[in-house]
Structure 1
Amino acid sequence: MNREDRGRLEYRALIGADPDVSQAELRTRAPHLHETLLADAYGGPLARAELGRADRELATLAILATLGGADRRLASHVRAALHNGMAASELLALAEHLSVYAGFPRALNAADVIDEVLTAQGLPRPAPLQRVRLRDHTTVVAQRGESGPPVLLLHALGLDWRMWEEVMDLLGPGRRVYAYDIRGHGTAAGSPSPFTMADTAEDLIGVMDALGLEQAHVVGLSYGGGIAQTAAVAHPRRFASLALLATTDYPFEAFEGRARSGEVDGMAAQVVPSLTRWFTAPALALNAWNVRYARERVLRGQAVDWASAWRAFIGLDVQGRLADFDAPTLVLAGEVDTSCTPEIMRGIADRIPGSAFRVLAGTPHMQSLEQPALVAGALEEFLPRG
């Protein structure tokens, strides 16, 4: 294989198009330049494996945006970055990053081009955020949908509201779907600690009050499910329904060890045990946005917040206390969840009379990140739509 042939292969892999089609104009106007582009660029340094293709596209975007005056090429490489697995949120974060090093004019221009490409590809713009003041800290609430029944999503320990992004996009039409950062997480990192599950439950009610919601359909995953159950015990009339995903109604012996490891070993040491518990091996191998996001959230977490959350979880005290809970309840298990197994989830359903129990095929613990379409499909059937 000569350099031009290798360049054609690399062009297709990087850009996601046939160079003779996408560069047909260049091939007609400047055939030697077309040949040089393929042989010397795409068949040369761009074909080397030392930098991954997604990394190369991110670097290319930063360079083109900083140079300016190359919007057509910038748009082409935005599409290429998406083709190579970069998420829309990562591209917009790059534009924000540019504002620091290349100035706001270049960053704003890059944001415009990125938005145009995302819109053309039918990808949603970022969810609107609002700051909410609770009793002793401030958090943010994201929203999808403008009308219909309110749905409130509670995230897992160590992550933030963004673990729900794809599910929110799917559930938004006909509903008002909200997700917020639980204390000690995301924008609410560094909130007062130690705290209890009762504190997190009052935070949930505080978010509802701030949003003007007398009732909501509450969905909690893992730690979020523990919070949802705690709030349902204390404030059952505030729940229009309850959905419990990959969670537990009793504390595990491992919780204290995880808290202590964060304090003693640091947050980098939490990445392997957390991600291998949360995702399947194929998802970890692909290293798509969902895994990159979760890894970064754990790495950026503060040990004090991590330990406080796990120790609050140790105080979970809800088993058997929802026997008289009369709002519709869905218990959703992941078939290959090794943490909150289908057997554990079946036990929760058995202790909440009248609840519906479902198992999502091939789904691990972090349901909304690895199988958002399956999660949204199950919730779509369960939740009302306006």
Structure 2
Amino acid sequence: MPDDTTAPADPATSIVRAGDLEVGIIDSGSGVPLVLVHGGESDRTQFTALRAHLGPGIRVISYDQRDSGVTVNPPVLYTMSDLADDLVHLLDALDLPSAHLLGTSFGGAVAQHVALRHPERVASLILVATSPSYFFEGAAIDELLSMTHEERQRSAVEFFFTPEGRPAQGGRVNVLTKRSPDKNSRREHVIRQHEVRDRLAEISVPTLIVHGTEDRLAPYAGAVLMEQQIPNAQLKAIEGGRHAIAQEFADRIALWVREFLGVDAT
């Protein structure tokens, strides 16, 4: 049993039974259902800034993946398919036949696998600062994964934010979740499984890709490839943006999301 998943961490968090897991979620607002899928180093709380800008007309759901936040899962290895199925089990638990998915970084990888494995449950995809393949990302992601949590905290500001956006972070990034060694090992194992470059053309749902042109962890060329290969995709670039664009440019991205979902700006 994981040692830090015994209870909700704050009043906004609730626990739902989804398949074989006890999953921590934050579920707010009403309207079009939008599930936010967090990155590899984060949890359900990653989207505080984005959630604040999404506005009315959207039901915003963020959740903890396996080995993240307050979710309780078996201490065994799992696959990208398992993570995709977990999200669908969550939709079942919330009585949602389908939902729009917004994934950032590794969460975007999970969202791609859901769209390929369960296309009938995905209304649309919004892929933020993500990649079609772990192996497309190059040495920077290996460098980050090789660090201790404390080293990642010190280095992540430069990896994640533009020079202009760094002062607001106070010298550190507050979206990096500290995990036990076993949890880190399982997360890193599954991250390295992500490879869908040869399957992008099978993604049939409308897709919005949002990417920073200076992202070292998920190179911009991967976003271009996704736009080229996914049949119904559009790419919006943030010039100079790095990996944490969903946090640093939350207001701009929220506006694009509302337009993409067809939610009235008023």
Question: Could you tell me which amino acid in structure 2 is paired with residue 301 of structure 1?
Answer: R
Q: CA deviation at 1:189?
A: 6.8
Q: CA RMSD in A?
A: 2.4
Matched residues, percent identical?
Answer: 28
Aligned twin of 2:149: 267
SS of the residue corresponding to residue 186 of structure 1 reads coil
Distance 1:267-1:324 versus aligned 2 partners, 3 A rule: closer
SS of the residue corresponding to residue 199 of structure 2 reads coil
SS of the residue corresponding to residue 293 of structure 1 reads coil
SS of the residue corresponding to residue 96 of structure 2 reads coil
- 1:155 paired residue among 14, 23, 38: 38
Runs of 4+ in 1 over 4 A off after TM superposition: 253-259
Unaligned 5+ runs, structure 2: 1-9
- 2:115 paired residue among 220, 223, 232: 232
Please identify the structure whose Cα radius of gyration is greater: 1
1:323 aligns with 2:201: yes
Distance 1:183-1:173 versus aligned 2 partners, 3 A rule: same
The structure with higher relative contact order (CA 8 Å, sep 6+) is 2
Distance 1:186-1:258 versus aligned 2 partners, 3 A rule: same
Distance 1:359-1:149 versus aligned 2 partners, 3 A rule: same
CA distance in structure 2 between the partners assigned to 1:302 and 1:207 by the alignment: 24
Is 2:20–2:73's contact at 8 Å kept on the other side of the alignment?
Answer: no
CA distance in structure 2 between the partners assigned to 1:304 and 1:385 by the alignment: 42
Aligned twin of 2:251: 373
Aligned twin of 1:140: 24
Is 2:22–2:72's contact at 8 Å kept on the other side of the alignment?
Answer: no
Is 1:143–1:179's contact at 8 Å kept on the other side of the alignment?
Answer: yes
- 1:293 paired residue among 147, 152, 174: 174
Distance 1:229-1:372 versus aligned 2 partners, 3 A rule: same
Structure 1 or 2: larger helix share?
1
CA distance in structure 2 between the partners assigned to 1:258 and 1:303 by the alignment: 15
1:350 aligns with 2:238: no
Structure 1 or 2: larger strand share?
2
Distance 1:333-1:292 versus aligned 2 partners, 3 A rule: closer
Is 1:364–1:370's contact at 8 Å kept on the other side of the alignment?
Answer: no
Unaligned 5+ runs, structure 1: 1-125
Q: CA deviation at 1:235?
A: 0.5
Q: CA deviation at 1:162?
A: 1.4
SS of the residue corresponding to residue 326 of structure 1 reads coil
Distance 1:239-1:371 versus aligned 2 partners, 3 A rule: same
Is 1:320–1:351's contact at 8 Å kept on the other side of the alignment?
Answer: no
Distance 1:244-1:161 versus aligned 2 partners, 3 A rule: same
Q: CA deviation at 1:258?
A: 5.1
Deviations 1:255-314 (A, max 9, x none): 56655x36xxx422332343432222343344349x4523xx34x322322232122011
Aligned twin of 1:184: 67
| Equivalences for residues 277-288 of structure 1 within 5 A | 277-288=159-170
1:131 aligns with 2:19: no
CA distance in structure 2 between the partners assigned to 1:184 and 1:234 by the alignment: 22
Is 1:246–1:365's contact at 8 Å kept on the other side of the alignment?
Answer: yes
CA distance in structure 2 between the partners assigned to 1:257 and 1:343 by the alignment: 19
Is 2:227–2:233's contact at 8 Å kept on the other side of the alignment?
Answer: yes
Q: Which has the larger displacement, 158-167 or 223-232?
A: 158-167
With normalisation by structure 2, the TM-score equals 0.85
Q: CA deviation at 1:368?
A: 1.5
Is 1:136–1:192's contact at 8 Å kept on the other side of the alignment?
Answer: no
Q: CA deviation at 1:334?
A: 1.1
Q: CA deviation at 1:371?
A: 1.3
Is 2:37–2:63's contact at 8 Å kept on the other side of the alignment?
Answer: yes
Aligned twin of 1:164: 47
Distance 1:197-1:324 versus aligned 2 partners, 3 A rule: closer
With normalisation by structure 1, the TM-score equals 0.60
Distance 1:197-1:275 versus aligned 2 partners, 3 A rule: farther
CA distance in structure 1 between the partners assigned to 2:74 and 2:160 by the alignment: 25
Aligned twin of 1:250: 133
How many residues end up aligned between the 2 structures? 252
- 1:307 paired residue among 182, 185, 190: 185
Is 2:153–2:173's contact at 8 Å kept on the other side of the alignment?
Answer: no
Deviations 1:196-216 (A, max 9, x none): 111111111111111111110
